[in-house]
Amino acid sequence: MRAIGYFTVDPKARKGNASSRRLSQAFQEYCETRLHIPHGTFADPRGEGGGNGWRKMTDFIRESRQAYLVVTPNAAHLGPTLEQQVERVLEMDALSSQVVCDDLDLPDPLQNALNSSRRSAQRSERIRAGMIAKAAKGLGLGKPPYGYYITVDGAFHVSPKEAPVVERIFKLYLAPGGSVRSVAAALNAKNVRTRSGRRWSLVTVRDVLRNPAYIGTYHRFGMRIPGSYQPIVSSSEFRQAQDRLQERSPSQRNSHPAPVFLLAGILYCNHCGKRMLGIVRRQTWNRRDGVRARAEYRYYQCQSRINRNQCSYRTMRADDVEAEVVGIVRERLAAGERGEDPNDVSWLVGDKARSEAAIQSLDRQFMEGVQRAASGTMSLSPLRGGLEQLRVYKKELGEQAGDCTDARDRLEANVARVLNEWDSLPAADRRDLLRSVVSRVAMKRGKPEITLR
């Protein structure tokens, strides 16, 4: 397998260069003993995991359009906190690559990160011993992927009930016009459910399409053992699916600044009560002169419809909704309208308390998710949403920090900026200002119901 080394070194240390050479040599030895093909190393200063060296490495992987095994001495080299370490693992997973630690005791980066953050050496040793022993034999760890079941001896077997669904997923996706969304819709229309009895979502379908387990290949802890058990789909079908996923992956497209959604975090669907999330749809076509044209469109759609196709409410063009909401908000603010009690700053205290409680809950959920992913009982995909939500709440909490007696003054200053500087502000600043003066926007029959702070 193609491999890249990544580590951090102390540039001020007397033996900094020697340490860098030692780590590079350790990476070369790792590749030699495991028959990987080395493709160079990248490094950052100690304490700056995920810095310039990491960015250069991700650019290299993205431009090469190939999957790599990223070898690092231990999870601490990925970043100083568990969140940052998990983020690096997820970032590589999004590029169809995998992170592994050059640590005989804890090669899995999530297990390695958990061990460092919780200092549970004895428990990790027991987990490590059992997991590596089973991994070396190609035996299952935790819950098997959809389509298989594991017997008492740990061997994989094809599930007569689930395997046909896996075959259908690949068939539908590889058919002309097939997409992850259309596959999920087709399965749900036939009342096919996941193993947990839920509807199929974009995430669960994509997880099936990307899992090499379905060609009989065991892939864990940097080990790749082909022919470990009976495949469900052919190697050619799996490769075709990977090629199509790669072509449609946002990471492989030309890099453009992520579009800003002004109502992110405050827009709700009044039909199902869920938040409305910003989505981007891109379209390409050939013009009459033969030139390839493309366009990008922004929409808002309720969260339940995106994840599970459960809400029948239609999507809305972001430009139209944002223009209408901003117009109403500026008009109401200019007229002197505020929340029910302009002298009440309890909204700041309440928001802070709710954010603190939410952060504690999300921290627990995130830790549980990392533990499940590290034990192999959950894929990495669900961690992405949890990590992003955790960071949003922490950012909001930081913005709310300060003396509550100054809250109304800060709010009025933001109102003045909305009224006087709006047209000259960058999109990101407009979004943040709007969230500071509006607590909620609910869409009901295409019309916004706006609650001011």
pLDDT at 128: 56
The percent helix, strand, coil of the chain (3-state, each to 5) is: 50, 15, 30
Enumerate residues 6+ apart whose C-beta is below 8 A from 350. none
Side-chain-facing half-sphere of 174: CA atoms under 13 Å: 17
pLDDT at 414: 84
Total Cβ atoms within 10 A of residue 166? 22
pLDDT at 340: 66
pLDDT at 306: 54
Q: Average pLDDT, stretch 244-254? A: 66
Q: Average pLDDT, stretch 196-218? A: 86
Edge-to-edge strands, sheet with 292-302:
276-286, 292-302, 316-317
CA-to-CA distance for 176 and 240, rounded, in angstroms?
A: 12
pLDDT at 290: 77
Q: Are strands 292-302 and 98-101 parallel, antiparallel or unpaired?
A: unpaired
Q: Average pLDDT, stretch 155-161? A: 86
Q: Average pLDDT, stretch 348-368? A: 67
Indicate the range of 38-47, 244-253, 432-441 predicted with least confidence. 244-253
According to DSSP, residue 198 is labeled: P
Q: Is the pLDDT of residue 405 over 70?
A: no
Q: Average pLDDT, stretch 213-220? A: 73
Q: Are strands 276-286 and 267-269 parallel, antiparallel or unpaired?
A: unpaired
Task: At 290, list the tokens.
Answer: 């033969």
pLDDT at 148: 86
CA-to-CA distance for 265 and 261, rounded, in angstroms?
A: 9
Indicate the range of 132-141, 171-180, 231-240, 274-283 predicted with least confidence. 132-141
CA-to-CA distance for 221 and 89, rounded, in angstroms?
A: 13
8-30 confidence digits (pLDDT tens): 988 776 665 678 889 999 999 99
> Tokens 């079941």 map to which residue?
149
Write down how long the chain is: 453
CA-to-CA distance for 247 and 210, rounded, in angstroms?
A: 13
Tell me which of 363 and 268 has the higher pLDDT: 268
Indicate the range of 46-50, 100-104, 359-363, 394-398 predicted with least confidence. 394-398
